[in-house]
Structure 1
Amino acid sequence: MAADLDVVNLFVIAGGTLAIPILAFVASFLFWPSALIKVYYWYWRRTLGLQVRYADCGGYRFCYAYRGKPGMRPSILMLHGFSAHKDTWLTVVKYLPKHLHIVCVDMPGHEGTTRTTTEDYAIQGQVKRIHQFVETIRLNRKPFHVVGTSMGGNVAGVYGACYPLEICSMTLICPDGIRHPCETKFDNHLQDLEHSNYTLNIPLIPTTPEEMEDMFKLCSHVRFKIPQQILQGLVDVRQPHNTFYEEGALTSDNCTLTSDMGQKRPGGGCFWSYSHCRSVTWMQSGPAGELWTLCGDGEA
C-alpha cells in the first residue's frame, strides 16, 4: 500500500512539475503576450551566442549585441530599419558562420540606445552617432562590412560616403533613399506621409493587432499567418516607443543614394557615392513582390 502511494505521489509531483511551465506559457500567451516576445528574443540571442553590451560615448549610450571577435575576416556591422531594433537581425545571424565578428546595434533613439533631440534621427545625425559608436568600440581599426535595411540602408550608404576608408563593402537591403523607376505601394505611402503633418495610421507605427498585420503585409516579401495574440504582444512591446517613432517619422532629412556625390537633389537632401568600396550590393523588392539584387563595384 505504501509503495502504491509512493508511485501516486511520484506521478503527482512529475505532473505538477510539467504543468507549471505549461500553465505559465498559456497564461503568458493569453494575458501577457509581450512577455513571450521578450523571452523569445532572449532565447534566440543565447542560442546564437550573441551577448548584449553597452557602449558609453561621452554621455551617449549605445546598446548592441555582438558575437565573435575581430579576426582575419572583416567585421560586420548591422543597422536595422525605422521602429525596429537590434534583434531584427536574429533571423539573419543564424545563417552566418560563427567565426565572424558580428555587431548589431540599436540605432539612435531606438530600444536601448539613448534618445536625444530630433537632429540625431535625421540621416546625417544618425551617421555621426554611428561613427561615434564605431570609434568607441574600435570597430574601424580595419575596414569592415556594413549591412543596412530600410532606414539603416540609407544610413549605411551615407556612412560609406562620409567615411569611405573605414568600409570595405556594403549590403543595402531595400534601402530608404534610393530612387528606382517602379515604386511600390510602400514607397508611395511614405512619400504621401513626407508631405503631410498627419501622424496617425503611419504604417510602421502600428497601434492595434490589425495594423501590425497590415505592416507585415506591406513590409514582408513572404506572407505568413501570425496568431492574434502574438500580434498583440508585438504591439504591446512597441507601444511605449510610439511617441518617439512618430517624431522620427516626421524627421525628413533623407539622402538619395546615387552616383553624384555632393549635389543637391530637388526638395533637399544630397547625392552620395562610394567609390572606395570594393563591393556594394543592393537588394530591393519590386512592385510585384519579386526580389531585385543589384551588385556593383562601388559606383552607385
Structure 2
Amino acid sequence: MELSAAKTAMLTGGILVLPVLAFVTSFLFWPGVLLKGYNWFWRRRLGLQVRFSHSGSYRFCYSSRGSVGTEPTLLLLHGFSASKDMWLPVAKFLPRNRHLVCVDMPGHEGTSRTGAEDYSILGQVARIHQFVRSIGLDRTPFHLVGTSMGGNVAGVYAACHPADLSGVTLVCPAGLVYPADSRFITLLRELEQSGADQNLDQNLDQNIPLIPSTPQALDDMLALCCHTPPKLPRQVLRGLLDNRIPNNGFYKELFLQIVGPDSRNSLQDHLPLISSPLQVVWGREDQVLDVSGAAVIKAALPQARVELLDDCGHSVALERPRKLAKLLQDFLSPQEPGDRNFLSSQEPGDADAKKVS
C-alpha cells in the first residue's frame, strides 16, 4: 500500500512537473512559440475564435466573438506589422454581447500574402471589402475601427463604401498631411533627403524603427510607439523578434507601398467623401503620427467627434485599452440631443480625454 501510494505521488508529481518543464523550456529556447500560445489562451478566455474565410484563392484570417444583433458589429483593422491579436486588450473591456470581428490585414499573420498590388491603401481597401462580403458583414451596416495604417484604410473604406457603415472610428490614422512632423516622420524625411528610393530600400531594415531586427531596435520601436513603453523581460523581447524577423521582408515591401506617392496621403484625399458618423481618437504624445492630424480631420469634417488622450502615445490600444473601449461604447450608444458634449458627460478618471470643438 505504501509503495503504491509512493508511486502515485511520483506519478502525480511527474504530471505536474511536465507542464512546468515545458513552460520553462519554451521560455528559454522558444519564446516566440510561448507568446503565440499566450495569445491563443487570451483569445479563448475572451471568447474569441479564430476563423478563416475564402474568396477565390485568397484566404482571410480573423477572430470573432458573438453574432450579429440589434447593435452594429465592430470590425477592427490593425496597424502596420501587427495582427488581429493587437485588439485583445480592447476586447477585454467591450461587452460580450457585441459582435466583434478582428481581421488580419492583407499579408499579415494568417491572411494571404500576395504582392504589391494588395499592399497599397486602395489595394487593402479592396481586400477588406472582399472580406466583408465573404462573411456577409455587408448585410447590415457595421461600425469600422482602424488604427494607424488600419486607420488610413478605414477612412478610405468609409469614403468608398458608405452604404456598408453605421459609423467609423479612426485611431491615430496615417494618410494625412500633418501640420507638424512627428519624430518618426522627421526620420523619414531625413532618409529621403539622403538619397533616392533605392537608398531608402537598401537601408530600410537598419534605419526604420518599425522594422526592428535586434533587441535594441525593438526597444527603440516600443519607445517610439508608446508614451510609457512596457518593461519586458529580455526573453519576451527575443520572442517578439523571433516572430517578427521572418516577416521583415514583407514589412519592407508593405512599408514602401504605404509611404509611396499613391498611398501616403490617401486619407487626406478621401476626407471630403466621408459621410458616416466619425470618431477620431489620438494620443497627445504620439511620436509616430503627430496629433496635429486630428485638427486636419476636424477642419475637413466639423461634425467629427475628436478625443485627445493625455499621456498616451501612438499605441492607444496597448496603452489605454479600457479608455478606448469606453470611448467606442459611448460613441456607439444612442445619443440624446445635447449629449454630444463629451466633457460634460465624463466619468471620474476620464479627465485625460478631451473633446476638440
Task: Quote the residue 2:33 is aligned against.
Answer: 35
Task: Quote the residue 2:174 is aligned against.
Answer: 176
The answer to whether structure 1 residue 97 and structure 2 residue 95 are counterparts is yes
Q: What whole-Å deviation, never above 9, does each CA across 1:273-300 have from its counterpart, x for those lacking one? A: 3542123223244368998977863499
Query: Do the aligned partners of 1:206 and 1:215 also contact (CA within 8 Å) in 2?
Result: yes
The answer to whether structure 1 residue 233 and structure 2 residue 239 are counterparts is yes
Q: How big is the alpha-carbon RMSD for the aligned residues of Structure 1 and Structure 2?
A: 2.4
The answer to whether structure 1 residue 255 and structure 2 residue 280 are counterparts is no
Task: Quote the residue 2:204 is aligned against.
Answer: 199
Aligned length, in residue pairs: 287
Task: Quote the residue 1:129 is aligned against.
Answer: 127
Letter in structure 2 aligned against 1:242: N
Query: Do the aligned partners of 2:66 and 2:97 also contact (CA within 8 Å) in 1?
Result: yes
Compared CA separation, residues 191 and 284, structure 1 to 2 (3 A): farther
The answer to whether structure 1 residue 211 and structure 2 residue 210 are counterparts is no
TM-score by structure 2 length? Answer: 0.74
Query: Do the aligned partners of 1:108 and 1:120 also contact (CA within 8 Å) in 2?
Result: yes
Letter in structure 2 aligned against 1:57: S
Letter in structure 1 aligned against 2:85: D
Letter in structure 1 aligned against 2:57: G
Compare 196-205 and 241-250 and name the one that shifted more.
Answer: 196-205
Compared CA separation, residues 137 and 91, structure 1 to 2 (3 A): same
The offset of 1:55, in angstroms, is 1.1
Task: Quote the residue 2:64 is aligned against.
Answer: 66
Compared CA separation, residues 299 and 6, structure 1 to 2 (3 A): closer
Query: Do the aligned partners of 2:227 and 2:286 also contact (CA within 8 Å) in 1?
Result: no
Counterpart Cα distance in 2 of 1:64 and 1:79: 10
Unaligned runs of 5+ in 2: 307-357
Query: Do the aligned partners of 1:277 and 1:297 also contact (CA within 8 Å) in 2?
Result: no
Compared CA separation, residues 191 and 57, structure 1 to 2 (3 A): farther
Query: Do the aligned partners of 1:274 and 1:299 also contact (CA within 8 Å) in 2?
Result: no
The offset of 1:141, in angstroms, is 1.2
Letter in structure 1 aligned against 2:125: V
TM-score by structure 1 length? Answer: 0.87
Unaligned runs of 5+ in 1: 259-269
Counterpart Cα distance in 1 of 2:190 and 2:106: 25
Structure 1 vs Structure 2: percent identity of aligned residues?
Answer: 48
SS in 2 for 1:273: helix
Letter in structure 1 aligned against 2:31: P
Counterpart Cα distance in 2 of 1:123 and 1:225: 33
Compared CA separation, residues 225 and 273, structure 1 to 2 (3 A): same
Query: Do the aligned partners of 1:86 and 1:106 also contact (CA within 8 Å) in 2?
Result: yes
Query: Do the aligned partners of 2:144 and 2:167 also contact (CA within 8 Å) in 1?
Result: yes
Task: Quote the residue 1:283 is aligned against.
Answer: 282
Query: Do the aligned partners of 1:276 and 1:298 also contact (CA within 8 Å) in 2?
Result: no
The answer to whether structure 1 residue 110 and structure 2 residue 108 are counterparts is yes
The offset of 1:191, in angstroms, is 4.2
Compare 14-23 and 125-134 and name the one that shifted more.
Answer: 14-23
Counterpart Cα distance in 1 of 2:81 and 2:183: 19
The structure with the greater share of residues assigned to helix is: 2
Letter in structure 2 aligned against 1:277: S
Compared CA separation, residues 299 and 97, structure 1 to 2 (3 A): closer
Task: Quote the residue 1:164 is aligned against.
Answer: 162
Task: Quote the residue 1:146 is aligned against.
Answer: 144
Letter in structure 2 aligned against 1:165: A
Counterpart Cα distance in 2 of 1:78 and 1:230: 26
Which stretches of structure 1, 4 residues or longer, exceed 6 Å deviation after superposition?
288-295
